[in-house]
Structure 1
Amino acid sequence: MVPSQDAPSLGRLGGRLTGRPQDAHFYSFNFPALNACVAEARRQVLARLHEWGVDETACDDAQLVVSELFTNAVRHTDSENVSCQLRFGEAHLRIEVADQGRASTEPRARCSGADEESGRGLLLVGALSQAWGVRPDDAGRGRVVWAELPHGRLV
């Protein structure tokens, strides 16, 4: 994983940030499918959750989940772009990471050997989430991996 200080700036990457003004608890962004963008995705999530007054434990968990899901989309699909949506509700924080569906298999948790360096990401997502899953994207061309996390509010 690329350290956050090495991540390129959003402007150079051409990422797109959006939000629906009528929904103060919805946020989305889109970045090129580059390893360097994983750190920027974490920063975007943390900044928004702080604005929403989410507790630090939930912020930490959300950053880890976004990092795992975004990394999987970058590494295991041949996507050009990866997008992320956050929805903050009364019961949970929903995180959705969408790729362009260019992978031969669907994401699933697996047990990795003790000497393997990767392969535990979705197990972590499952441990931190109330629920998680995979669905086709709205256009039917890609897929969305989602997770619902419990949260608290600071305020």
Structure 2
Amino acid sequence: MVPSHDAPPFGRCGSSIAERLQDAFHFPALNTSVAEARRRVLARLREWGIDEVACDDAQLVVSELFTNAVRHTDSDKVSCQLRISGARLRIEIADQGHTPTEPRARCSGADEESGRGLLLVGAVSEAWGVRPDDSGRGRVVWADLSHRRILH
């Protein structure tokens, strides 16, 4: 899937406002924070009753995007925001430091250890993209996943 700079808006679903669940957090821009972010996302999504396939996909997306923000920016912290709107889960990972190039999916050689993360994000998400953060210095990489709610 090709990334888009235009994040589709969340909002009204038909004529009524859909249930909205959201969470936001940040961790230091350290490799050890990636696992903490995955655990936080999994705990929140399970609390909200999100199906296991979407939980697994969300953990993969957070892991890849959080890792990219830690490795490829000069950020002190990396932020994550989760939002449920109807049957869509929006994941946003924001960094503080801008790099000269924009994140994009690329094909890596068989012997390369990295470089496939955004291909994986594209494979499990309905859409993903990049936009500047509110400060204009950093950026937000977002992905939309479909999900089902499980009754407890």
Give the TM-score, by structure 2 length. Answer: 0.85
Confirm or deny: 8 A CA contact 2:108 2:114 kept in the other structure. Answer: yes
Question: Of residues 118, 121, 138 in structure 2, which corresponds to 1:122?
Answer: 118
Q: Secondary structure at the match of 1:154?
A: coil
Aligned partners of 1:32 and 1:69: how far apart in 2? 14
Quote the offset at 1:86 in angstroms.
Answer: 0.1
Which residue, out of 46, 49, 63, partners 1:53? 49
Whole-Å separation in 1 of the counterparts to 2:118 and 2:29: 19
Report how far residue 145 of structure 1 moved.
0.2
Q: In the alignment, what sits opposite 1:77?
A: 73
Q: Does 1:86 align with 2:91?
A: no
Query: Displacement, 1:24?
Result: 6.0
Query: Alignment partner for residue 135 of structure 1, among 110, 114, 131?
Result: 131
What are the ranges of 5 or more consecutive residues in structure 2 without an aligned counterpart? 1-18
In 2, Cα distance between equivalents of 1:49 and 1:124: 20
1:1-155 pair list within 5 angstroms: 25-155=21-151
Match of 1:6 in 2: none
Give the aligned length: 133
Runs of 4 or more off by more than 3 Å in structure 1? none
TM-score (norm 1): 0.83
